[in-house]
Amino acid sequence: MKKESRPVTKTPAEDVRKLLGLHRTVTIAGETIVVRPYAWKDLFNVISAAWPIVDLLTSDKPGTIIEAVAENRTAINRLVEISTGVTAEQIDAMTISDGLRLATEVWTENQDFFIRELTPMIISALGSKTAKSSSSVAPTSNPKSEETATSLAAGSNSPTS
């Protein structure tokens, strides 16, 4: 029996805000920044920006989501820029606290996309790699990548131990 999916939003206020088309805002250095959900027009830019992180997470190279993000600062800046219009130069000039707050707001506003759309792409990529490797002469498995995809599908920020 198929499990019914529930919205990712956490509160009724979030649901109402989304229904009314109100965007999340964050004030940084006295400036109010609008954080909007990714739109169809953003899809290919978002996938292009996120793909280096996805590629690292699905590679045979061991690592965590934090390491994948750390190695792809440009990708993170681009994902934030697409959602907010804040340039990479402006993001780089922010304090650590402000940058993290802005990135967290972008994640929160777009978590439906990351969890419901991007995670299945990662899992599919892992499935393709597994299928290719199982048809080769010396099959190999990457438990770390499979563990990461499972963690991502469950909405965790890091693989299980």
* 106 part of a folded domain: yes
How many CA atoms does the CB half-sphere of 116 hold within 13 Å? 9
Average pLDDT, the chain: 73
* 23 part of a folded domain: no
* 8 part of a folded domain: no
* 12 part of a folded domain: no
Could you give the 3-state DSSP secondary structure of residue 26? Answer: strand
pLDDT-wise least confident of 16-20, 25-29, 52-56, 102-106: 16-20
* 116 part of a folded domain: yes
Rounded percentage of the chain residues whose pLDDT exceeds 90: 25
Structural domain harbouring 102: 39-133+140-153
| Tokens found for residue 63 | 């690592």
Could you give the 3-state DSSP secondary structure of residue 25? Answer: strand
* 158 part of a folded domain: no
The pLDDT of residue 53 is: 79
Distance CA 25, CA 36 (A): 8
Query: C-alpha distances in angstroms, 133 versus 53, 63, 99, 125, 136?
Result: 21, 20, 39, 12, 5
Query: C-alpha distances in angstroms, 6 versus 10, 91, 121?
Result: 10, 33, 19
Could you give the 3-state DSSP secondary structure of residue 154? Answer: coil
* 108 part of a folded domain: yes
> Which backbone phi and psi does 136 adopt, to 5 degrees?
-85, 170
Question: What is the reported pTM?
Answer: 0.61
Max mean pLDDT range (58-72, 105-119, 122-136) = 105-119
pLDDT over 50 at 85, yes or no: yes
User: How many domains does the structure of the chain reveal?
Assistant: 1
Q: What is the pLDDT of residues 146-160, one digit of tens each?
A: 454 444 444 444 444
Please name every residue paired with 26 in a beta bridge, in sequence order, or none if there are none. Answer: 33
* 30 part of a folded domain: no
**Looking at residues 129-146, what average pLDDT do you find?**
50
Q: What is the pLDDT of residues 36-46, one digit of tens each?
A: 998 889 988 98
